[in-house]
């Protein structure tokens, strides 16, 4: 039996060891899925605190229960920060961050450093799959030469695929198993081994002709969303000036059973994908002498939204004869979207920084984020404020930034002096509610 056939057989018989590198919002659900169907899973992460928590059966992500981690530990899962364990794995699935640097250029350091960390321990028969969102060409340009440094031939000895993650934290309608998985291989053999890896765990595997096509697929998904949100955010500003409720308009347009998809405006873009991924293509397109105007325009519109919300707050305070400087402002919801604890790229945090820079006294309330976490670029020493009538009334204004279902919206409406609503939760006009 050849290397290709032996690798495929190992996945089909579930004798393979699955190595997941990067145990965050993408890696952890994937680990739980492979563990649940009977594979031995090894989790690798450079964060020793995460490793210790997982090995103690504890979760650090709100929507993933600690009981699930404990169950995985009891059935063979182990976490480690020791990269030499890579040699034990038959599959290595890389789920590491791909942020932007301060010049809005791709920061590939996590992907490159991870690949450099695993390459001394690679051996024949393994499949390496990159899941991190990135620009077309990354797998070929960055992973391929590193994987082949140890005289392994890709497609014969070792197999290289790109299969973009599609997690949607907090969405009860989808789970890892039910979200179709796109996969592209560097060679036909790579693709076949990659299919064998993923078809065990995912209901539907969708193949494309190359790793580049798979990389571009993920970017198109997220650019489609970013551009449409940019469009509706721009429409919101126009509708507001005309005295029209954009949420009413979107709801009405959404009754058309074809040719329209509802996107709703907000205070900006958040999360690890939508605000970041479009700029991966913008950056790569420059290499080909191309200017991605739609992407950059939507980026401009979406990045202007936190300032727009703060401007609306200033207008509201001004009508009451108050300055923003010295005013006490409560930001409701600092996760990037409702019902999760994920803070990455949250526009709420940008709003908080704008308010602080203008001299406001800033506080926040978020049932999913009890203490403001340590972040790479944002620093607040704050804890979540209790939402009582007295506490709400003590603030000059509240900004509804993230519309968590756990908020008591009637209480907020009755107790707050001034509400700046960036999510369209309050549809009935009221003197103390400003749409933003």
Question: What are the tens digits of pLDDT across the range 345-396?
Answer: 899 999 999 999 999 999 999 999 999 998 877 789 999 999 999 999 999 9
Cβ-contact 193, 167 below 8 angstroms: no
Can you tell me the distance from the alpha carbon of 217 to that of 172, in angstroms, rounded to the nearest whole number?
A: 24
- Residue 34's H or E segment, with its range, is helix 27-36
Q: What is the CA radius of gyration of the chain?
A: 24
Please tell me if the domain spanning 3-209 has the same topology as the one spanning 304-435: yes
89, 95, 190, 273: the active-site residue: 273
Sign of the four-CA dihedral 77, 83, 89, 91:
positive
Q: CA angle, 318 as apex, 315 and 321 as ends, to 5°?
A: 165
Check: CATH 1.10.940.10 for 3-209?
no
What's the token pair of residue 405?
A: 């279902």
Over range 236-249, report the average pLDDT: 97
- The whole-number pLDDT of residue 269 equals 85
- For the chain, what are the domain ranges? 3-209, 219-301, 304-435
Sign of the four-CA dihedral 233, 237, 239, 243:
positive
Question: What are the tens digits of pLDDT across the range 279-329?
Answer: 999 999 999 999 999 999 999 999 999 999 999 999 999 999 999 999 999
Residue 190 among the catalytic residues:
no
Q: Which residue has tokens 């890892």? A: 176
Q: Which CATH fold would you assign to the domain 219-301?
A: 1.10.1040
Question: What are the tens digits of pLDDT across the range 251-279?
Answer: 999 999 999 999 999 999 887 777 788 89
pLDDT at 184 over 90: yes
Can you tell me the distance from the alpha carbon of 271 to that of 70, in angstroms, rounded to the nearest whole number?
A: 27
pTM score of the predicted model: 0.93
Q: Which CATH fold would you assign to the domain 304-435?
A: Rossmann fold (3.40.50)
């Amino acid at each position: 039996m050849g290397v290709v056939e032996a690798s495929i057989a190992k996945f089909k018989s579930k004798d393979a060891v699955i190595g997941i590198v990067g145990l965050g919002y993408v890696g952890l659900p994937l680990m739980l899925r492979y563990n649940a169907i009977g594979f031995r899973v090894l989790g690798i992460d450079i964060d020793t605190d995460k490793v210790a928590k997982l090995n103690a059966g504890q979760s650090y992500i709100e929507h993933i229960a600690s009981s699930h981690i404990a169950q995985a530990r009891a059935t063979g899962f182990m976490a480690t920060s020791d990269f030499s364990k890579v040699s034990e794995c038959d599959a290595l699935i890389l789920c590491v961050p791909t942020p932007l640097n301060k010049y809005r250029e791709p920061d590939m350091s996590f992907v490159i450093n991870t690949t450099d960390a695993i390459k001394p321990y690679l051996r024949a028969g393994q499949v390496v799959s990159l899941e991190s969102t990135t620009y077309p060409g990354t797998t070929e340009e960055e992973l391929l030469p590193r994987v082949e440094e140890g005289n392994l031939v890709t497609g014969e000895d070792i197999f290289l695929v790109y299969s973009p993650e599609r997690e949607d934290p907090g969405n009860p309608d989808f789970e890892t198993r039910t979200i179709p998985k796109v996969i592209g291989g560097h060679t036909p053999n790579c693709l076949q081994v990659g299919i064998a890896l993923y078809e065990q765990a995912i209901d539907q595997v969708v193949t494309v002709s190359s790793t580049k096509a798979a990389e571009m697929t993920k970017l198109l998904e997220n650019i489609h969303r970013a551009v449409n949100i940019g469009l509706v955010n721009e429409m919101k500003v126009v509708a507001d000036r005309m005295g029209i409720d954009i949420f009413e308009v979107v709801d009405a347009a959404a009754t058309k059973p074809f040719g329209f998809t509802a996107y709703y405006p907000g205070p900006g873009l958040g999360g690890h994908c939508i605000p970041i991924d479009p700029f991966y293509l913008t950056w790569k397109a420059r290499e080909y002498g191309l200017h991605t105007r739609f992407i950059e325009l939507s980026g401009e519109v979406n990045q202007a939204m936190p300032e727009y919300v703060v401007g609306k707050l200033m207008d509201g305070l001004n009508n009451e004869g108050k300055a923003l400087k010295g005013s006490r402002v409560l930001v409701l919801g600092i996760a990037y979207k409702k019902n999760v604890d994920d803070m990455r790229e949250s526009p709420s945090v940008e709003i908080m920084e704008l308010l602080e820079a203008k001299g406001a006294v800033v506080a926040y309330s978020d049932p999913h984020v009890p203490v403001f976490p340590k972040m790479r670029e944002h620093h607040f020493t704050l804890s979540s404020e209790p939402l009582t009538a007295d506490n709400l009334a003590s603030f000059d204004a509240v900004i509804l930034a993230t519309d968590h279902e756990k908020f008591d919206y009637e209480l907020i409406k009755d107790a707050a002096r001034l509400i700046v609503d960036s999510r369209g939760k309050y549809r009935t006009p009221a003197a103390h509610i400003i749409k933003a």
